Amino acid sequence: MFKQILVSSVVVASLALTACASSGKKNAPPPPPPVNNSGMSGYGASDSSVNGTGLGGGSLADLANKKTVYFEYDSSDLTSEGQAVASAWAKYLAANPSVRVRLEGNTDERGTREYNVSLGEHRGNAVQAALTAGGASASQLSVVSYGEEKPVAAGHDESAYAQNRRVDIVQQ
């Protein structure tokens, strides 16, 4: 029990540090390229937040920087931040039925290859369930798991692991 609490504390601290570090301009990755804006006229013009979280869901530009859902260690449960991202995307997808996205499940390097592929799929399915619950159509979504094969952060520490435990939402 103590070990679980300790690990949870380290994860929370690491995520907080990662969030602080990622807000600096010199270490931040460049913004993603613009995505197809067709069908966006009038969509959410007055909506600047989703569920009071401050995550803009009113335009595709808002969503372009919110296309990753992060997970806790060995979990496929969406965090409150992940739920907010999924809610914003669900709203957009419901308003734009011709848009399709691929949900790419990823894990950190710990665990066997088979376990990580399975966990990545569970994570993708969890995001898919949140999107459909929020109004997106199942026909707009596909899930693929890469397990540990596509890390975004190199390294063998909690900071890198936290960045690699994710589902990327990729518009097709």
The model carries a pTM of: 0.67
Q: Is residue 83 part of a domain?
A: yes
Q: Which CATH number does the domain housing residue 62 bear? A: 3.30.1330.60
Query: CA triplet 125, 40, 79: central angle to 5 degrees?
Result: 30
Q: Is residue 154 part of a domain?
A: yes
Q: What are the pLDDT digits (tens) for 15-42?
A: 443 444 444 433 333 333 333 333 322 3
Q: Is residue 2 part of a domain?
A: no
Q: What are the pLDDT digits (tens) for 125-147?
A: 999 999 999 999 999 999 999 99
